[in-house]
Amino acid sequence: MRRSLSPSAYRALFCDLRTDQLLDALTLHEVGFDDWIGKSGSASGSIPIPDADMAARVRAAVQPARTALWIERGRDLWWGGIVWTATATSDSRGFVSLAVQAGTFDTYLDHRRLLDTQTAVAVDQFDIARALVDYAQRTPGGDIGIEYDDHLSRVTRDRTYSRYDMAPIRDLLDQLAGVENGFEWRIAVHRDPASGRRVKRLRLGHPVIRGAATEIVLDHPGPVLAYSWPVDGTQRATAWQSRGASTNANQTSESVPLMSTALVADDDLAAGWPRLDGASDYSTVEDQRVLDSHARADFAAARRPHTIPEITVALDRTDLSPALLGSTIRLRIRDLWHQIDARYRVVGLSISPPERGRPETARLYLEVP
């Protein structure tokens, strides 16, 4: 049996965001971090400040919106992102600490806007996505070192992004990925095995991101310590319509938005499901085909909402790592409620390092086929 790593096996590296120059390696207490496919990950922790020398080190190394945070486990990079907030606190005994909150590198694109009109005609959707990231990084001061490869999805799109919308680049990427026959994207981190360089890489997957081919078997009882298996009907819909941009150029009359074709799941209604209306808004979409594609994708997701179970796994009894994102595991559960032996894709990962007697665990979030 493998032994759990001690808290000291995790290191927090604080670096300049633009150059990745190491500023300092500092101890983080009460640390936790997660990463996802489909949304941003986060990390948090507290830096103890026992004396004036440490206060000076922390002040020099941690500047929110300018500092990158990398978390190492042993020799491997397990998380990377940007420090966005830092809060100094002092308790009743005068102990000072700095609580930091960080988001994965994709959160940078939430803070960048498209300020120049961009047009693509019959361009592969992956190339459109890469062009949006290029736009962010080619602006003076905008290059934070996001890399990518040049593989294609073989799905072409027409897109026009107006500078007048001043849309966050993250929103444009999510909308591009979220249409019918779209894709998944994330910014993954790893250490280059040859040079040791820390790498931020834009990963694109059509229709989904796939991880390592090696399958891991997890059992409950066994390495799976606990699970939660929700079934949520609040997001379900049996009818759908999406709303786009205003199409009325006459300023003297009422503004009317572009509307998608109305969609109804007649077979669900015939099977006994009630009418459940759903809607979505795309205020910058002016093309009927694009809006209809969004509506079909949204309706497909709402007709069969994804169940996202979570399992808590003992890390000292498995070979898990953040590279598992996108990979398939085989999960076997035998208890009073479940008799499961099935495969699930890992879409989220949350790590709780060992601290003060707490075991080292990973919480896996799974996509049900």
Residues 194 and 119 in one domain: yes
Residues 358 and 227 in one domain: yes
Write down which residue in 42, 72, 105 finishes a domain: 105
- CA dist list (Å): 29 to 7, 49, 80, 232, 340: 9, 11, 17, 35, 37
**Nearest Cα residue to 353 out of 71, 94, 114:** 71
> In this predicted structure, what is the pLDDT of residue 252?
59
The DSSP annotation for 167-182 comes to: -BHHHHHHHHHTSTT-
> In this predicted structure, what is the pLDDT of residue 137?
97
Residues 243 and 255 in one domain: yes
210 belongs to a structural domain: no
52 belongs to a structural domain: yes
> In this predicted structure, what is the pLDDT of residue 5?
39
- Give the domain CATH number at 27: 2.40.10
Residues 23 and 95 in one domain: yes
Any residues with CB less than 8 A from the CB of 71 and at least 6 apart, and which? 10, 11, 12, 13, 28, 31, 33, 43, 77, 78, 79, 80
Residues 90 and 166 in one domain: no
Cβ atoms of 12 and 71 within 8 Å: the answer is yes
Question: How confident is the chain (369 residues) per 10-residue block, as mean pLDDT?
Answer: 47 97 94 95 96 97 98 92 97 94 98 97 98 97 97 96 95 96 96 94 96 84 93 92 82 80 97 97 92 95 88 89 91 92 94 81 90
Residues 311 and 298 in one domain: no
Which residue in the block uniquely carries the two structure tokens 């085989």? 330
286 belongs to a structural domain: yes
Write down which residue in 285, 303, 321 finishes a domain: 303
Q: How is residue 135 written in tokens?
A: 């736009």
Domain of 286, in residue numbers: 239-303
Write down which residue in 257, 280, 303 finishes a domain: 303
1 belongs to a structural domain: no
Residues 91 and 51 in one domain: yes
Domain count, the chain: 4
Whole-number Å distance between alpha carbons of 32 and 212: 24
Q: How is residue 11 written in tokens?
A: 């290191």
- Give the domain CATH number at 153: 3.55.50
Residues 175 and 318 in one domain: no
211 belongs to a structural domain: no
Torsion of CA 307, 313, 315, 317, to 10 degrees: -130
- CA dist list (Å): 264 to 124, 239, 246, 277: 30, 4, 24, 9
Residues 83 and 173 in one domain: no
249 belongs to a structural domain: yes
Any residues with CB less than 8 A from the CB of 84 and at least 6 apart, and which? 64, 65, 101, 102, 103, 107
Could you tell me the pTM of the whole model?
A: 0.88
Residues 169 and 224 in one domain: no
Residues 169 and 154 in one domain: yes
244 belongs to a structural domain: yes
247 belongs to a structural domain: yes
Cβ atoms of 100 and 219 within 8 Å: the answer is no
- Give the domain CATH number at 345: 2.30.130
Residues 30 and 171 in one domain: no
